[in-house]
C-alpha cells in the first residue's frame, strides 16, 4: 500500500505509484556511481572546498553516462520505448519489454544489422580506439591536433 498526503485531484493513484517506482531509478543511479559503471571510490579530502567539487564531478560523470546511454540506446540491449510506455501502462502490473527490445535480445542485432552490446563493452570499445596527437608550430604558437581512427563497424577492433 502506498499512501500520500496529496489530494486525489492533484495526484492520481496511478501517478502516486509511478512516483514511488521512480525511486528505483534514483537507487540505480547511486549504484552506478558506486559500482561498476563509474568506479568512484571514497576519497579523503583535506580541505572543505574540495568536497563540493568532488560531488559536482561525480554528478557530472553520472550525467555524461546517462546522456551516453540515451544516445546509444539503439546500440544497447535497453528498451528504447520504456520511458514513453511508463506513462501509458498500468503502474501496478509488471513491466513488459517492447517488441523491438525483445527482437534485440533474441537476434543480438539492431534494426540496422549492427551487433547489440552492453554499455560496458561499447564504452570499452570506444576507449580502445587508437588516438594520435600531433603538435605543430604555427605562427609561434603550438597547435595540437587529435585524430582517432574509426571503423565502420564499432565492434570490429574487439571482434564482438
DSSP string, the chain: ----SS-TTTS-HHHHHHHHHTHHHHHHHHHHHHSTTT-------SSTTHHHHHHHHHHHHHHHHHHHHHHTGGGBSS-TTHHHHHHHS-SSSPP---HHHHHHHHHSB-TTSPBPB-HHHHHHHHHTS-EEEEEEEETTEEEEEEEE---SSTTTTTT-
Q: What is the pLDDT along the chain (160 residues), one digit of tens a residue?
A: 788 888 888 888 888 888 888 788 788 877 777 766 666 666 777 788 888 888 888 888 888 888 888 888 888 888 777 767 777 777 777 777 888 888 888 888 888 888 888 888 888 887 777 665 555 666 656 565 555 554 545 444 444 4
What pTM was estimated for this model as a whole?
Answer: 0.59
Amino acid at each position: 500500500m502506498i499512501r500520500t498526503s496529496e489530494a486525489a485531484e492533484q495526484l492520481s493513484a496511478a501517478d502516486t505509484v509511478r512516483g514511488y517506482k521512480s525511486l528505483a531509478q534514483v537507487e540505480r543511479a547511486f549504484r552506478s556511481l558506486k559500482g561498476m559503471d563509474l568506479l568512484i571510490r571514497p576519497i579523503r579530502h583535506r580541505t572543505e572546498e574540495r568536497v563540493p567539487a568532488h560531488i559536482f564531478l561525480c554528478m557530472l560523470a553520472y550525467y555524461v553516462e546517462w546522456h551516453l546511454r540515451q544516445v546509444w540506446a539503439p546500440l544497447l540491449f535497453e528498451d528504447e520505448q520504456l520511458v514513453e510506455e511508463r506513462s501509458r501502462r498500468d503502474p501496478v502490473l509488471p513491466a513488459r519489454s517492447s517488441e523491438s527490445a525483445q527482437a534485440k535480445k533474441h537476434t543480438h542485432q539492431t534494426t540496422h544489422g549492427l551487433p547489440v552490446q552492453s554499455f560496458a563493452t561499447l564504452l570499452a570499445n570506444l576507449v580502445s580506439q587508437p588516438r594520435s596527437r600531433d603538435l605543430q608550430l604555427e605562427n609561434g604558437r603550438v597547435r595540437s591536433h587529435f585524430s582517432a581512427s574509426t571503423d565502420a563497424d564499432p565492434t570490429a577492433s574487439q571482434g564482438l
